[in-house]
């Protein structure tokens, strides 16, 4: 049985390796010509280049979207030359971007009305896990559509969970993930800067903390990069702020308050004042450093 044709829209630092994994697994790949720059390796391996998102939808069985934010997904789907205008019944649209859970519900309803299934399937793990094909994928949508997509997901990720059969459940899970990640990055930065300002060796503190209840993926990876002052981008401040903003926005819609997530979200605004909006999310350390008039010495 030949594999379904995949249309992939959004060849950014995440999308490029993700599309590459699908192509390497034998899925015919269709991309769009204004997704810059079209990666040479995808073209050489036979990716078909279309002139519009509509044309991608026409030529594919499964259309995958991986763009930065809610308005980007809306444009890709519903612009005049958008995906919706190229769909026919039976196709499957998968949004792997991290966007608003509520907007996702609306988008899915419109796609369903065209006789197509919709999955929201945001990912966690950043560029390193996109490259290694070890993403965490959190999925919302009908189980049958999930089963149809699973072999495709398995080319890109290792922890693949159907959170619920309601569209939006995947995005809700991703927002929950980002609440923890965003708060944890800042807690690690605060802990190490506190220790350093108090005169202790932050590397020794990090070593001790990794042996106890404070141990986490964030303390292992992000805090180590803070100690090394390695601010090379793995995940942009701008995207972390956007994700915590999705939490705050959804809180307002639902009538609930998350004081810790809100504090973390606010602090990311000061990264912009520092000119670090496009730097790695650990740059929030520099905001704390400026407030403390102290640099983490490691």
Stretch 219-258 residues interacting with its own copies (CB under 8 A): 219, 221, 247, 250-251, 254-258
The full DSSP string for 83-118 is: GGGG--TT-EEEE-S---HHHHHHHHHHHHTTT-EE
Does 161 engage in binding with its own copies (CB under 8 A)? yes
**Given 138, 226, 268, 279, the residue binding its own copies (CB under 8 A):** 138
Binders of its own copies in range 104-133 (CB under 8 A): 124-126
Long-range Cβ contacts of 159-167 (<8 Å, 24+ apart): 159/135, 160/136, 161/136, 161/137, 163/138, 163/139, 164/140, 165/140, 165/141, 166/105, 166/140, 166/141, 167/104, 167/105, 167/107, 167/108, 167/109, 167/118, 167/119, 167/120, 167/140, 167/141
- What tokens does 281 get? 């999310």
- Burial of residue 298 (CB within 10 Å: 0-12, 13-18, 19+) is middle
Considering only residues 44-83, where is the footprint of its own copies by CB under 8 A?
A: none
Cβ closer to its own copies: 45 or 134? 134
Q: Closer CB to its own copies, residue 78 or residue 194?
A: 194
Q: Which of 194, 225, 277, 295 touches its own copies by CB under 8 A?
A: 194
Quick check: 62 and 7 in contact, CB under 8 A?
yes
Interface with its own copies (CB under 8 A), residue total 75
Compare residues 140 and 142 and give the one whose CB is closer to its own copies: 140
**Cβ 99 to its own copies shortest distance, Å:** 14
Q: Six-digit token pair at 60?
A: 């594919």
Tell me which H or E stretch contains 140.
strand 135-140
The region of 13-21, 92-100, 146-154, 166-174 touching its own copies under the rule CB under 8 A is 166-174
Interaction of residue 13 with its own copies, rule CB under 8 A: no
174 assigned to active site: yes
Kindly identify the residues of this chain, within the stretch 252-291, that bind its own copies according to CB under 8 A: 254-261, 263-264, 266-267, 288, 291
Nearest to 294 by CA among 200, 194, 201: 194
Kind and range of the H or E element at 9? strand 6-9
Query: According to CB under 8 A, which one of 215, 228, 229, 230 is a site residue for its own copies?
Result: 215
Residue 36 as a binder of its own copies (CB under 8 A): the answer is no
Closest contact distance (angstroms) between CB of 91 and its own copies is: 26
Q: Of 174, 204, 242, 286, which one is the catalytic site residue?
A: 174
Question: Considering only residues 6, 111, 119, 172, which one is a binding residue for its own copies as defined by CB under 8 A?
Answer: 172
Shortest Å distance, C-beta 298 to its own copies: 14
Any idea which residues carry the catalytic annotation? Answer: 174
């Amino acid at each position: 049985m030949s594999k379904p044709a995949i249309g992939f829209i959004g060849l950014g630092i995440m999308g490029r390796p993700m599309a590459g994994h699908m192509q390497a697994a034998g899925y015919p790949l269709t991309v769009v010509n204004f997704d810059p720059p079209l990666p040479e390796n995808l073209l050489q391996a036979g990716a078909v280049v279309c002139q519009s998102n509509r044309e991608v939808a026409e030529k594919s069985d499964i259309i995958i979207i991986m763009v930065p934010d809610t308005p980007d997904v809306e444009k890709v789907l519903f612009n005049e030359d958008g995906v919706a205008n190229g769909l026919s019944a039976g196709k499957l649209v998968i949004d792997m971007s991290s966007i608003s859970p509520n907007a996702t519900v609306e988008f899915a309803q419109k796609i369903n009305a065209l006789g197509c299934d919709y999955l929201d399937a945001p990912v966690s793990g950043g560029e390193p896990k996109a490259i290694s094909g070890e993403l965490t994928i959190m999925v919302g949508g009908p189980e049958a559509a999930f089963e149809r997509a699973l072999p495709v997901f398995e080319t890109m990720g290792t922890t693949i969970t159907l959170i619920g059969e309601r569209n939006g459940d995947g995005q809700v899970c991703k927002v929950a993930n980002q609440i923890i990640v965003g708060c944890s990055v800042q807690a690690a930065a605060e802990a190490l800067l506190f220790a350093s300002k108090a005169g202790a060796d932050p590397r020794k503190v990090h070593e001790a903390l990794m042996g106890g209840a404070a141990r986490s993926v964030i303390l292992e990876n992000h805090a180590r990069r803070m100690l090394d002052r390695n601010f090379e981008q793995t995940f942009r401040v701008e995207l972390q702020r956007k994700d915590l903003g999705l939490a705050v926005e959804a809180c307002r819609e639902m009538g609930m308050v998350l004081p810790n997530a809100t504090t973390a979200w606010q602090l990311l605004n000061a990264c912009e004042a520092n000119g670090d909006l496009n730097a790695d999310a650990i740059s929030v350390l520099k905001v704390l450093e400026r407030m403390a008039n102290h640099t983490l010495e490691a």
